[in-house]
């Protein structure tokens, strides 16, 4: 709720920790680790239409060493896990965030250890006007705030590298290529494509973050533009389907200290979210229970509450028994836009 006080994680050299009050109501994702809630958030929205999310940023993230936070800075320093929560609690727009960063009054960000290491993260922020930025703490380069003019964000490398990499794909198009024509012994020959989709020949299909970035940009650019909020949510749902990673098809190879065997850890889509900033609604689904749920600010209780993201497999489905009807000439059907048929 609005008015809650949130506290930073403690540092041994600090006699006090950072504390801040939420100016707005929040809907956010959190996780429990070893029976306790992690002090921070993975992403969410606030009631005035600001969205913030964190994504994994391996090999590139670098934060302030926690031992280097001075006593003077203790009340204005937070871990990398708290950045999203702080932004959602304090800002109503990307413009406000930019002003604080330009004025160098944004808190110091230090790296806290979770699951045996400092988790490398970067942050995407967008408001309901469409103004968007990517906030990164880059090894050897410091803090950078990039204007996100393309509307896409994935993982490593840094955001400016991804934007440069798009220059390798100017040939991608939504329309099919024309038939290839040539002449043989005075006669014109035509080679027709096997089917539709040739405009996207060369579109990367693997799950590496650079190629997921290119694929998301192409799909976002070429999809039919939504005419209203309902269509926008539907279009986003289908875009997320194209980015969904099935468990087991993309694994990290990790060696644990003291163990000779290589351990495989699956990189897959734990959950998906859609944020409707114009209406203040947050849609989500898990990996096992793939049915979409929705929370909107106008239906939230006045106290802090939670809802699990994941559910049971059978929770994904609704029986169609109740809508069965005799098939005859008078049978009614749900009509759709003729452009969709």
- What's the pTM value of the predicted model, to 2 decimals? 0.90
Token output for 282? 């947050």
Would you tell me how many other CB atoms lie within 10 Å of the CB of residue 172?
Answer: 18
Residue-level pLDDT at 250: 85
- Burial profile 291-321: b = 16 or more Cβ within 10 angstroms, e = fewer: eeeeeebeebeeeeeeeebebeeeeeeeeee
184 burial (CB, 10 Å; 0-12 / 13-18 / 19+) is exposed
Q: What is the DSSP string of 231-287?
A: HHHHHHHHHHHHH---TTSSEEEEE-TT--SEEEEE-----EEEEETTTTEEEEE-S
pLDDT digits (tens, 9 = 90+) for 38-91: 999 999 999 999 999 999 999 999 999 999 999 999 999 999 999 999 999 999
Residue-level pLDDT at 341: 41
Beta-bridge partners for 278: none
Query: H helices then E strands: how many in the chain?
Result: 5, 21
* Strands 5-7 and 32-33, sheet pairing: unpaired
Query: Do 91 and 33 contact (CB within 8 A), yes or no?
Result: no
Residue-level pLDDT at 266: 73
pLDDT beneath 70, residues of the chain? 254-264, 331-341
Whole-number Å distance between alpha carbons of 316 and 340: 25
Residue-level pLDDT at 337: 61
Residue-level pLDDT at 328: 82
Query: Do 78 and 8 contact (CB within 8 A), yes or no?
Result: yes
Token output for 98? 């930019």
Token output for 220? 């976002």
């Amino acid at each position: 709720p609005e008015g809650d006080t949130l506290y930073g994680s403690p540092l041994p050299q600090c006699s006090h920790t950072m504390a801040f009050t939420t100016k707005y109501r929040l809907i956010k994702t959190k996780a429990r680790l070893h029976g306790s809630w992690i002090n921070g958030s993975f992403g969410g929205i606030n009631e005035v239409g600001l969205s913030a999310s964190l994504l994994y940023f391996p090999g590139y993230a670098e934060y302030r060493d926690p031992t280097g936070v001075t006593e003077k800075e203790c009340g204005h320093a937070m871990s990398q896990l708290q950045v999203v929560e702080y932004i959602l609690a304090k800002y109503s727009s990307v413009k406000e965030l930019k002003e604080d960063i330009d004025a160098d009054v944004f808190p110091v960000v230090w790296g806290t250890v979770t699951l045996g290491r400092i988790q490398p993260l970067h942050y995407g922020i967008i408001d309901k006007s469409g103004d968007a930025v990517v906030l990164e703490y880059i090894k050897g380069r410091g803090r950078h705030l990039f204007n996100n003019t393309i509307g896409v964000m994935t993982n490593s490398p840094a955001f400016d590298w991804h934007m440069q990499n798009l220059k390798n794909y100017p040939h991608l198009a939504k329309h099919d290529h024309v038939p290839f024509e040539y002449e043989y012994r005075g006669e014109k020959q035509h080679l027709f494509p096997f089917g539709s989709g040739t405009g996207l020949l060369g579109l990367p299909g693997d799950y590496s973050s650079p190629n997921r970035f290119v694929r998301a940009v192409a799909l976002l650019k070429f999809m039919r533009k939504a005419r209203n909020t309902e269509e926008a949510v539907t279009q986003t749902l289908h875009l997320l389907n194209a980015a969904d990673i099935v468990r087991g098809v993309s694994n990290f190879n990790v060696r644990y200290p003291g163990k000779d065997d290589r351990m495989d850890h699956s990189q897959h889509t734990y959950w998906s979210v859609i944020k409707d900033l114009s209406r203040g609604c947050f849609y989500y689904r898990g990996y096992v229970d793939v049915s979409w749920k929705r929370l909107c600010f106008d239906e939230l209780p006045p106290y802090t509450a939670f809802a699990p993201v994941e559910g049971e497999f059978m929770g994904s489905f609704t029986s169609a028994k109740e809508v069965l009807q005799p098939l005859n000439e008078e049978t009614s059907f749900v009509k759709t836009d003729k452009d969709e048929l």
